[in-house]
Amino acid sequence: MSPVEYSGEVSGEENRITFQLYDYWLGLTGDQDIPPLKALAPESIAPYRNNMVLIDLRDPEKEPTLQVIGQLLLQDVDQDLVLAGISEIPRRTLLSRITDHYMEVLANKSPISFDAEFNNKAKEKILYRGILLPFSDDGENINFILGAIRWISESDRPNSGTDSEINTKMNFGADLSLLQSQLDDCRNLVQGQNTATDLRSRKSLYKTLGAILDFHETCCAHPDQYSELLRSEGLKAQKRAPYTPCLKLCFGAEYDKTRLTEYAAALSFAQKNHKSGTEMPAFLEGFPGGIKGCVQAMREGRTIIAGAPSPGSQEENQKIIRDLPPIANFSIEASETAVCEDELCLILGRRNGTDIDVIKILKEEEKILPQILKRLIKNR
């Protein structure tokens, strides 16, 4: 049983199904974490339709059902399970290998890929690789899961090489494809940046650096494939500047060296503060001085605790104020409590020697309070 034209080469389509479909799904997300099913174009997944299943989870009171089943998967179970519940899927079938993983998608709210081997009903040894992709009407609750799988029986494989050699080659090629796919995404972000020095350009750059940080993490997890990628681009890894090769891959080897150095410092500083690529844009936006602020912090050997407010920010100043010991304490009339809902407030007083009369409690004013806090922090 062989539903694919197995070439035995790492670049074969059967080795890349997970990455091709993941890239397509990622392109559908837009501003949402999980795309709606209506965004899916049937013609775009046509090459895999015989190897796919659509799982319907719209009714939380009932078990998931199988809305669409590819022809090759139907042939494997040898019965029509369209609209059947997943509990009706026979064991030792490829369909069961897909649906066994659907709870992982619900738990993670993200795609999951898998590969393994098993003995089917005919006691054939089957090697398979697949992926499950979530879809949501509201971007939050998963309504459908699209699964795809490709496989080959041991008897259909080429005879050259041991199991471990073949699996090693397949995994190396798949991981290299993953790195190349992420690199392509980063390059697309680089090319799409607004060249004007405005707010949009800065946000675009921050988003690009976030994607590159994730790309660097993937490279670190696959050092052999990363070395191959660098070799093919005529670049080398640098122990003293670990982020620079990744940046050169994305921006180009001839990109301005000063800029690359600044970007590398920003990536390093974000990593020291345990920021992911997704968190990096907000991290840079909130850090005083942005990229140049990170560069300065790295030069001074400074670090900040992950999750802590940015130094000098209003949030940080308010935290300092809260920790200062009070110099007096008094109660106010109940009628004044409505004005004092904020933890920090402004008090208008009149001094008479050592006595102070409280005239009015003022609401927090955004334009006034930050200036007062900064002055107080400076002179405390």
DSSP character string of 48-102: GGGGEEEEE---TTS--EEEEE-HHHHHHHTS--TT-BGGGSPSSSHHHHHHTTH
34: its two tokens: 């999980």
pLDDT at 265: 92
pLDDT recorded at residue 198: 42
- The Cα 11–Cα 343 span in angstroms is 61
- Is residue 219 within 8 A of residue 226, CB to CB? The reply is yes
Alpha-carbon distance of 95 to 225, in angstroms, equals 32
- Helix 199-221 and helix 257-272, axial crossing angle in degrees, nearest 10: 70
Query: Please, what are the domains in the chain?
Result: 13-160 (3.30.450.20), 170-299 (no CATH), 325-379 (no CATH)
The pLDDT of residue 12 is 41
pLDDT for residue 347: 76
Mean pLDDT by 10 residues, the chain (380 residues): 34 56 85 88 84 91 90 87 89 86 86 82 83 89 92 66 53 70 86 51 87 89 85 85 92 90 92 86 87 86 56 57 66 56 68 76 58 60
Tally the residues of the chain: 380
Q: Does the model's pTM come out above 0.75?
A: no
Q: Hey, which residues does 68 pair with through a beta bridge?
A: 54
Q: What's the pLDDT score for residue 146?
A: 95
Q: What is the pLDDT of residue 299?
A: 82
CB contact set of 172 (below 8 Å; sequence gap of 6+):
10, 224, 225
Helix H or strand E encompassing 170? helix 163-191
CA distance 173 to 16: 9
* Cβ(212)–Cβ(246) below 8 Å: yes
- Give residue 322's pLDDT: 64
pLDDT of residue 122: 80
For 110, residues 6+ apart whose C-beta sits below 8 A from its C-beta are: 33, 34, 134
312, burial (CB in 10 Å: exposed 0-12, middle 13-18, buried 19+): middle
Separation between Cα atoms, residue 275 and residue 206, nearest integer Å: 13
